[in-house]
């Protein structure tokens, strides 16, 4: 029964789109948040039916907007057996005059997954040109063919203007692939990199994704380094979640990324940024941004006081003298 309850929570049967929340709230339920700012408004995108969307003027009070998709993209329904529109772990980036949204469609605990892509010239729902245009699949992972999982996309534009997409979870860890300048497809000839992996003590199957859990990459440039944030261990178990965020850095966007002790993330390295405490369990699946002269760290965290409800967690991020991120509770 416990597994059923937890799976129900994660798939959003009870929280799908988090529709039971008030229209405006200071304490939204959320999974896998990412953010962009247009004008004086922040827009939050998160896991949910059709990709959940919220807006805020102050990063405190959030208004629920319409989801990105009113119904599941037909191409994704056809590509992923069992997919019915619960779209996971989006990413948002402004590039070449468009907002680009990347999103995950997947079968739970399998690497039957695709990453899709949609664009909009504006994030303001009141703007006359507001319209999400779906461009379909970027990449797809297939069981028994791929030892990687096409979920949790994150896009970064390198210093030379080259777009890269990092992605992945469990299986063989976090991957990176070069995209075309319009972000519409994998660039040719294909260029792939392995960024982070953890040792596993046993194999993967559809019933148990195994140990060595790593997922949710997010890359941020700060100073001379690119910083790769990932989440270790287990999400989506409410108060029993032991999710945590670790980081490594590299002077090249494609790595190798190493932690504070010099251990490569490709060999299990990662310096702890934040983990659960007496107030929150399973702090993870983060994003990080430089906005309004400050650096921000956001993720979801399971509130102990609210019986493991997944709450939006936003904090200002500072840096040590030797250049490592610090996030306080």
Q: Which residues are catalytic?
A: 32, 215
**Could you tell me the end-to-end alpha-carbon distance of the chain, in angstroms, rounded to an integer?**
33
| Short-list 196, 178, 175, 115, CA closest to 151 | 115
Angle at alpha carbon of residue 93, lines to 57 and 108, rounded to 5°:
100
3-state SS track over the chain:
CHHHHHHHHHHCCCCHHHCCCCCEECCCECCCCEEEEECCEEEEEECEECCEEEEECCCCCEEEECCCCCCCCHHHHHHCCCCCCEEEEEEEEEECCEEEEEEEEECCCCCCEEEEEEEECCCCCCCCCCCCEEEEEEEEECCCCCCCCCCCCEEEECCCCCEEEEECECCCCEEEEEECCCCCCECCCCCEEEEECCCCCCCCCCCCCCCCCEEEEEEEEECCEEEEEEEECCCCCHHHCCCEEEEEEECCCCCCCECCCCCEHHHCCCEEEEECCCCEEEEEEEEEEEECCEEEEEEEEEECCCCCEEEEEEEEEEECCCCCEEECC
């Amino acid at each position: 029964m416990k597994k059923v309850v937890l799976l129900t929570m994660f798939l959003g049967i009870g929280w799908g789109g988090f529709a039971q929340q008030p229209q405006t709230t200071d304490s939204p339920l959320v999974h896998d948040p990412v953010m962009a700012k247009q004008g004086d408004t922040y827009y939050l995108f998160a896991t949910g039916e059709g990709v959940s969307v919220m807006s805020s003027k102050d990063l405190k009070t959030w208004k629920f907007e319409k989801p990105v998709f009113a119904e599941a993209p037909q191409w994704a329904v056809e590509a992923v057996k069992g997919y019915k529109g619960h779209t996971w772990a989006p990413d948002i980036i402004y590039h070449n005059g468009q907002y680009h949204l990347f999103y995950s469609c997947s079968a739970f605990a399998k690497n039957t997954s695709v990453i899709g892509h949609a664009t909009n010239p504006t994030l303001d729902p009141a703007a006359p040109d507001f319209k999400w245009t779906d461009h379909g699949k970027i990449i797809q992972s297939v069981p028994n063919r791929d030892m990687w999982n096409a979920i949790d996309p994150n896009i970064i534009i390198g210093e030379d203007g080259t777009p890269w997409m990092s992605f992945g979870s469990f299986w063989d860890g976090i991957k990176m692939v070069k995209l075309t300048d319009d972000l519409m497809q994998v660039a040719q000839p294909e260029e792939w990199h392995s960024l982070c992996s953890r040792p596993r003590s046993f194999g993967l199957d559809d019933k148990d994704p195994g140990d060595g859990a790593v997922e949710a990459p997010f890359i941020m440039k700060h100073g001379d380094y690119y910083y790769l944030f990932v989440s270790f261990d287990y999400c989506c178990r409410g108060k029993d979640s032991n999710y945590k965020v670790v980081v490594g850095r590299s002077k090249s966007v494609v790595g190798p990324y190493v932690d504070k002790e010099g251990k490569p993330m490709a060999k299990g390295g990662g310096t702890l940024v934040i983990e659960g405490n007496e107030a929150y369990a399973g702090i993870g699946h983060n994003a990080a941004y430089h906005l309004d002269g400050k650096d921000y760290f956001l993720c979801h965290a399971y509130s102990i006081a609210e019986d493991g409800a997944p709450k939006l967690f936003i904090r200002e991020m500072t840096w040590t003298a030797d250049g490592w991120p610090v996030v306080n509770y």
